[in-house]
Each structure stands twice: as C-alpha cells, then as structure tokens.
Structure 1
Amino acid sequence: MTTEIAEPISPEQRALEDELVATVVASFDHTPDPRLKELMQSLTRHLHAFIRDVRLTEAEWNTAIEFLTAAGHITDARRQEFVLLSDVLGVSMQTIAVNNRAYKGATDATVFGPFFLDDAPEIPLGGDIAGGASGQPCWVEGTVTDTDGKPVAGARIEVWECDEDGFYDVQYGDERVAGRAHLFADDNGRYRFWGLTPVPYPIPHDGPVGTMLEATGRSPVRASHLHFMVAAGGLRTLVTHIFVDGDPQIEIGDSVFGVKDSLITEFAPQVPGTPTPDGRDLGDRSWARARFDIVLAPDGV
C-alpha cells in the first residue's frame, strides 16, 4: 500500500486563495442585519476552509451539487430530506446542544426528526394515540414540572411514533393519521396515555441521504424511541424522545446521534391478563408500561 503525498501549495497559490476568501467575506460587509452578516461571513470562511483543506475537485463539487439537487427533488410536504441530512451529520444534535443548555435538572432535548406534523388530533388524558397503528399497547405516564419542582398545569404534550413495522403514518401515502396526538397535563401536571411500545426502524434510505449512508458504510437504523414535544407559557419548549432500555441498537449506534443516557427509560413488559392502570381490557395481549417525568427549563436560559 502506497501513501500519496500531497503536492505542496506554493505561496503564490495560497495568496490567490486567501485573496478570494477575503473578497467574498468583504462582499457581506454592508449587510444591514448584523446577525445575518456574522452568519454569512463565518459560513464563507468555513466553507472555503473545507474546500482548501481537502483540495476539493471540480468533479466532487459537481457531485455535491447533484446530491443537494436530489435532496430538494425528493422533499415534499410529508418528507424532509434536508432535515434527514442534518440529522445524520449530527448537525441537528449539535444545534440542539448549543440552544438547550443544561439547567438545574431540566430534561435533555434531542432531535426533532423529519416526521412531525402540525394539527395532530387531541386526545383526553388516558386516551390512545395509536389511531389504528399496529403494535404492542404501551401505557405511558408521568408529570410535567418546572426546575423548582412546581407542577406545570395544562402543559401541551405532543407525542408521535412509528408502528411495529417501523413506519410513521406519513410514510404510507394514504393520508392516515396514526401514532400521533396531543394532550394536556392536568392541574397537577400529570399526564397519561396509551401508545405503542417503540421499535427500532431505519430512517428513509431510498433517497440521496440513504445513498450517502451506504457509500460510507453507516447503518440507517434508529434506536427504539417515542417522540415528545412539551410546551407551556414562560418555559422553554422541550423536544425530546424516550428510548427503550435494553434495546441493542443503543449500543450499536443511533443513526442520528439522538440517544442520551438520561432519556433511556424502562418499558416494563406486562404479561397478558395483567390489570391495566385504567381498566382497559386487552384480552390475551401483552402490553408494556413506562414512566417519564418531564422537567422544563425557564424560557430564555
């Protein structure tokens, strides 16, 4: 095996490249919005630094343009390939880390994912989010409090998940609404609902992001999880998941880097015939139960 030695960059070539970077950065000097100016100039510096670091070829640049074009073509109202790309590059998690600083025991945030939809149906406390989706029933309960331990009455809790085959409702293409809903915590900050025991599944890998993962030898599989988005006045909106304790995929690796130890939750299996918390008759079906207590940070921290 031979190692190719990169050709040294001459001072003249380096000066030419430096001049171009300076010219492009300066083109944003008169941007009226200071934050936009900062973003564009930093992006320019970093993007040019990447090109120079790897000595990007024109063929590679054209491939990148084709990749982004394909991501745009496959994106529609029910599939967001650019969110998927952000997720698998760890950009989503890094943005979340920057914007959700640790604060006095507040619940950790994690990726939003590409499958959230507005206008999910409302269910009452103890209702069922499954909406006909297949899977093992799972009772989920907990409390919503602030970081001082005060219950957050009326907190809006949005939940969504895949079915036992690893598909979200939006992936079926038949306008079904299943495996998603919203509900509100009671006056004591308590909530409860029926969902499905989460299962691992591959993110959509029939598009350009999947092609990239295959080319780099990476798995598209996500660890089993249930999505939450929790909002209340004066408190930081939380976007997070809970993950299934004991799921082997956690050790193998989550394709979007979303797992945090604090979010790994026991989904306790219940044998057929075990009484349910609300008296629901599940016949000869097994089920599971999980508890997830949510702590919201103050808004603006």
Structure 2
Amino acid sequence: MTNQKQSAPDAQAAIEEELIQTVVDSFATCTDDRLKELMQSLTKHLHAFIRDVRLTEDEWNGAIEFLTEAGHITDDKRQEFILLSDVFGASMQTINVNNEVHDNATEATVFGPFFVDDAPQIEIGGDISGGAQGQACWVEGTVKDTEGNPLPGARIEVWEADEEGFYDVQHSDGRVYGRAHLFSDENGKYNFWGLTPTPYPIPHDGPVGRLLESVGRSPMRASHLHFMVSAERQRTLVTHIFVTGDELLTHDSVFGVKQSLIKDFVQQPAGTPTPDGRDLADASWARAEFDIVLPPAAV
C-alpha cells in the first residue's frame, strides 16, 4: 500500500495559514517595492515548503547547522554558498532568467567561484597557461554582434583549471596560471594558447560535498574553459565551452552544460604544425573554435 502524505486538519491548516499571512503582512510597510515583493514571495514559498514536507524540528536544526558550517568554511577564496546555489541549479536558473534567448547570441552559463579580477593581459596568440601542466590547446574564434558585425577591441577574459583539476587560487602560494585577458583585433578575431580542459570536482570537502555524497550525486564538473566577453554597447557574456564526447556532459554537478556550448577539441598528433609555428617539442596538442555573438546591451 502506498504511503500517502497526510494533509493537516482544517484547524491546524488555519493556524499555519494565519502565520503565513501575518509574516507576509509584516513587510507591508517596506518602502522599497522590489524588496517587499522579494520578501513576501520568499515567505510564501518557504512556508509552502515547510508545510509540504511537514518539516520536523530535527530537520530544521540540521539545516541551520548546515548553513552555519557553510558560513564558517567561506572565505575570500572559497564561497560555499555559491557552491550550494550551483548544486541546486539555482545559479543556472538565475542565469537563464537574466539572459533570455536573443536571436543567434551565444548562450550564457554559470560564473563559477574561481574568477579573479586583474588577470594578466596577453596579446593575441599568447599563452594563458602560465606554466601549468596539461596538453596545449589552440583556441580561436571571432566576436560579433547579432547582425554579424565584427566587434573589435572586445575584452575576452579566459580562465581554467590545470590538468589535475585545480585553479591557481586553490593554492596558497599566490601563483597565477590558467587565466588571462586579451582583446579581439580589428576584425573581431582572437586566438590564444591554453590547456585542453579536463574534468574536475567542485570543492567537496565541506558541507556541500557531504550533501552530494548523502544523495548519491557526483561533485564532478564536465571539462570546460571559462569566458567572460564584453564590448561597448553589448551585453556582457559569461559562459564556458565544453568538450565534445566528455562523459560528464549529462551529469555536470552544477547543470551548466548547454548543447550550443559543446565544441570539438580536435586532437593534433605530435609533429603537426601549429597555427603560429610554436614548437611543442613533439607533443600532441588540440585546437578548438569558438565564435562568440553578443546581443545589444538593452536586451
């Protein structure tokens, strides 16, 4: 026999509904209309969840302890609450809501916790790897608007993990690798050397990691390379590209994969001439193409 959840008796339901209305009404004097809307809607949805699952006091205390630990582990280099938002798909849904589909514009995806301001600048054709270990990868493409016009001087921020799955900021010695910014040329073209992306786990030694383990979910992210692209009068794009054939494309722990962002990272055998004549000492390398389309800023 199926165990069905019981509804609260009418008298109990009335008590619960009265409380909801009381809390909602407590925000009525807020002079910021948007803040009032957010607080009242949050109240309704939060109470609806509590009532829907008939949350126990032990479960409530467990949630408070979880959030407290998430706060304690958060610092200037690690944001556990971003991880929590990511694994619930809340980060990705916020991106969807704020980046509506527009013509042929490149799709956005999650920002991630490892972006750093003031990454070093490289010239077109430069190397972002900073000496990190991994297979060399040539990335090239164009930056255009939705009308097909090149966007010269577009700022292209790129960042990625090394082949072991670590970003530079995850080390404590101040090293800088796997990140840089460059500008598109007069024809909107760009290219650079980086590393072929590899899978890696989100930080899972804290409360979010234990949550994933307890529900049987993997912390692994599909292989990817981050981009943030901006140009005058265009909407700034935050996205990444993913590797065709990666078995994690359908199991990305933060739900960031979009079909349009999956790109071929074509393997080049050792000895294959490189686009700029770089000597790779008889090592294999890869190349990928990523054409970027930015919508107008008003969209």
TM-score (norm 2): 0.98
CA distance in 2, matches of 1:8, 1:295: 51
Find the counterpart in structure 2 of residue 230 from structure 1. 229
Find the counterpart in structure 1 of residue 268 from structure 2. 270
Find the counterpart in structure 1 of residue 133 from structure 2. 134
SS at match of 1:98: helix
Find the counterpart in structure 2 of residue 163 from structure 1. 162
CA distance in 2, matches of 1:166, 1:267: 18
Structure 1 residue 300, shift from structure 2 partner:
2.4
Find the counterpart in structure 2 of residue 67 from structure 1. 66
SS at match of 2:15: helix
Find the counterpart in structure 1 of residue 287 from structure 2. 289
Which residue identity lines up with residue 184 of structure 2 in the other structure? Answer: A
1:112-142 alpha-carbon deviations (Å, 9 max, x no partner): 1111111111111111000111100000000
1:294 and 1:16, CA in 2 relative to 1: closer, same or farther beyond 3 A?
same
Find the counterpart in structure 1 of residue 35 from structure 2. 36
Equivalenced residue count is 299
Structure 1 residue 6, shift from structure 2 partner:
3.9
CA distance in 2, matches of 1:139, 1:49: 51
CA distance in 2, matches of 1:67, 1:191: 44
1:171-190 alpha-carbon deviations (Å, 9 max, x no partner): 12211111011111111111
Map 1:39-118 onto structure 2 (within 5 A): 39-118=38-117
Map 1:151-190 onto structure 2 (within 5 A): 151-190=150-189
1:33 and 1:8, CA in 2 relative to 1: closer, same or farther beyond 3 A?
closer
Find the counterpart in structure 2 of residue 257 from structure 1. 255
SS at match of 1:250: coil
Which residue identity lines up with residue 164 of structure 2 in the other structure? Answer: D
1:28-60 alpha-carbon deviations (Å, 9 max, x no partner): 111111111100100010001000000001111
Which residue identity lines up with residue 257 of structure 1 in the other structure? Answer: F
Structure 1 residue 246, shift from structure 2 partner:
1.1
CA distance in 1, matches of 2:244, 2:190: 21
Structure 1 residue 3, shift from structure 2 partner:
4.9
Identity %, equivalent residues: 71
> CA RMSD, aligned part only?
1.0
CA distance in 1, matches of 2:7, 2:85: 34
Q: Which runs of 4+ in 1 moved over 3 A?
A: 2-8
Structure 1 residue 248, shift from structure 2 partner:
1.4
CA distance in 2, matches of 1:160, 1:178: 8
Which residue identity lines up with residue 234 of structure 2 in the other structure? Answer: L
The gaps in structure 2 that reach 5 residues or longer are none
1:175 and 1:153, CA in 2 relative to 1: closer, same or farther beyond 3 A?
same
CA distance in 2, matches of 1:174, 1:243: 29
Which residue identity lines up with residue 209 of structure 2 in the other structure? Answer: G
CA distance in 2, matches of 1:292, 1:280: 21
CA distance in 1, matches of 2:183, 2:246: 29
Which residue identity lines up with residue 281 of structure 1 in the other structure? Answer: D
1:188 and 1:48, CA in 2 relative to 1: closer, same or farther beyond 3 A?
same
Which residue identity lines up with residue 60 of structure 1 in the other structure? Answer: E
CA distance in 2, matches of 1:286, 1:130: 16
TM-score (norm 1): 0.97
Find the counterpart in structure 1 of residue 206 from structure 2. 207
